[in-house]
Structure 1
């Protein structure tokens, strides 16, 4: 993982987020467009030409949401 540290934390690329969440990069982009992550940044001064980055804490929150939703679906109805 080649996370980028900028200002107030560690920022991950779309590909890194996709790998962590086990989803396709295009799904990460759709989630970004739908506002499922905190506001991403485009660090234009960094190598890579301003590609979108997502804060690792935002990824952790979405992972918990995904895991919670999966657990709820797997639970038998009462």
Structure 2
């Protein structure tokens, strides 16, 4: 089960990916120079959000593993 934070990060990641595609379209086909700054910023935001999501997933898996170990120790006792 994913936490609310992980779900929010996934949504933000998809939004930033869609924003990146829109900005790429604007910069290539509409020749908008303002979009060039966003062309760098949006994928960078996606990378940061992905890194945070991976970190949270790792923490959750680590906590689940520790909980399983505790349950096994209680069952043996």
Could you tell me the TM-score, scaled by structure 1's length? 0.39
Higher relative contact order (CA 8 A, sep 6+): 2
Structure showing the higher strand proportion among its residues: 1
Could you tell me the TM-score, scaled by structure 2's length? 0.40
